[in-house]
Amino acid sequence: MKYFMGIETSCDETGVAILDENSKVLSNALYSQASIHKEFGGVVPEIASKNHLEKIIPMVEHSLKTAGRHIDEIDTICVTNGPGLLSCLMIGVSTAKALSLLNDNELMPINHLEGHIASCFIENVVDFPAICLVVSGGHTSIYYLEDEINFKEISSTIDDAAGEAFDKGAKMLGLGYPGGIRIDEVSKNANKEFHTFPIPELKNSLNFSFSGLKTSLRYYLEKRGDWEKDINDIASSYQEAIVKSLIAKIKKASLDYKPKSILFCGGVACNSRLREVAQSELTKFKTIFPSKIFCTDNGAMIAMRGIQKKSVSKKKSPLNFPVFSTIRKFKKD
């Protein structure tokens, strides 16, 4: 049996997981820095990287112990090398390089977005062709998947990501950070039709736009004043606008690309209302949402992507691979 380690440190989660070659998750250690960044209202890169540095070795040890494996038994160490916060990526990549030099494990750089897509395969069988909505704090894109290796981006946001819209909206409403989960919580049992927040349709396009939404929330709050008593209904209406926009584009993509499965991944795929609307409105397709622990950043999805890549390529990565912070277009490999 071959074993894969996945290391993820691109933002504010330190994740180290061990999967076997059959994609069974043997451990998925995760340390979230959310409570540390809360007081700043967002992720502070220097504080994030300092915390990754403190946590990464204990997390590696914990993950190996939980999986009942020794570092010598790990065939491939998979590590996120971008996109993400440069100083944070460097902690994961340096750790992976040091481990592999010491223990002679193979090293494999993994694109963070490919990792998110791979999270859909950990617990599910995907029927192809498929389309996948990657919806996180930094990205909102739809991918067309021919199979688990070959995919291409078919749409993206032209401004903010959906997770950013959740986080910025939550900040305006005084709900704190991270915002998506707070809006989700207060929206339960609230009136989603309380107010209609407009989202530009970008006609004949699969692209998204969310920057106008936060502006309309700001104007609405300023104009209304004394809105605090209706905060849950306002949050729920705001969430509804985001969900409706995501589902509308997914529906359009499904008409254009005729997939058998529709996949959702990234932190925003934890959203209860998005899950509810997808299940009720996309009944003609196999809809796949990973468990919530695999939606937000984690090491298991990085190891999963390593397993997929290893199955088609025997080529070893050079030890001097770079880290990158910008969004890389997907390439067929």
> Could you say which of ligand KG4, Zn ion, none residue 132 binds, taking C-beta under 5 to 8 angstroms by partner kind?
none
* Site for ligand KG4, residues 100 to 159, rule: CB under 6 A: 136-138
Cβ(74)–Cβ(17) under 8 Å?
A: no
* Minimum CB–partner distance for residue 180 and ligand KG4 (Å): 2
Side-chain-facing half-sphere of 51: CA atoms under 13 Å:
21
Q: From residue 241, how far is each of 246, 252, 281, 287, 289 by CA, in Å? A: 9, 17, 16, 21, 20
Q: Does 239 bind Zn ion (CB under 5 A)?
A: no
Build a one-symbol-per-residue string for 173-202: x at contacts with ligand KG4 by CB under 6 A, - elsewhere. Answer: -----xxxx--x------------------
Measured between alpha carbons, how far is residue 138 from residues 38, 80, 100, 327 in Å? 18, 15, 30, 10
What is the maximal distance between C-alpha atoms in the chain?
63
- Say if CB 290 and CB 265 are below 8 A apart: yes
Binding region for ligand KG4 (CB under 6 A) out of 59-67, 74-82, 189-197, 260-268: 260-268
* Amino acid, single-letter form, for residue 289: F
CA distance linking residue 276 with residue 253, whole number of Å: 19
Question: If contact means CB under 5 to 8 A according to the sort of partner, which of ligand KG4, Zn ion, none does residue 81 touch?
Answer: none
Going by C-alpha positions, the residue among 109, 95, 4 that lies closest to residue 55 is 95
The stretch among 24-32, 52-60, 132-140, 214-222 that binds Zn ion (CB under 5 A) is: 132-140
Q: Is the dihedral of CA 45, 12, 167, 41 positive or negative?
A: negative
Mask: binding to ligand KG4, 294-323, rule CB under 6 A, as x and -?
A: --xx--------------------------
Give the range of 203-211, 222-230, 268-276, 283-291 binding ligand KG4 by CB under 6 A: 268-276
Residues touching ligand KG4: how many (CB under 6 A)?
19
Stretch that binds ligand KG4, among 119-127, 152-160, 162-170, 204-212 (CB under 6 A): 162-170
For 111, the 3-state DSSP assignment is strand
Catalog residues that contact ligand KG4 under the rule CB under 6 A: 11, 136-138, 163, 166-167, 178-181, 184, 266-268, 270-271, 296-297
Catalog residues that contact Zn ion under the rule CB under 5 A: 136, 297
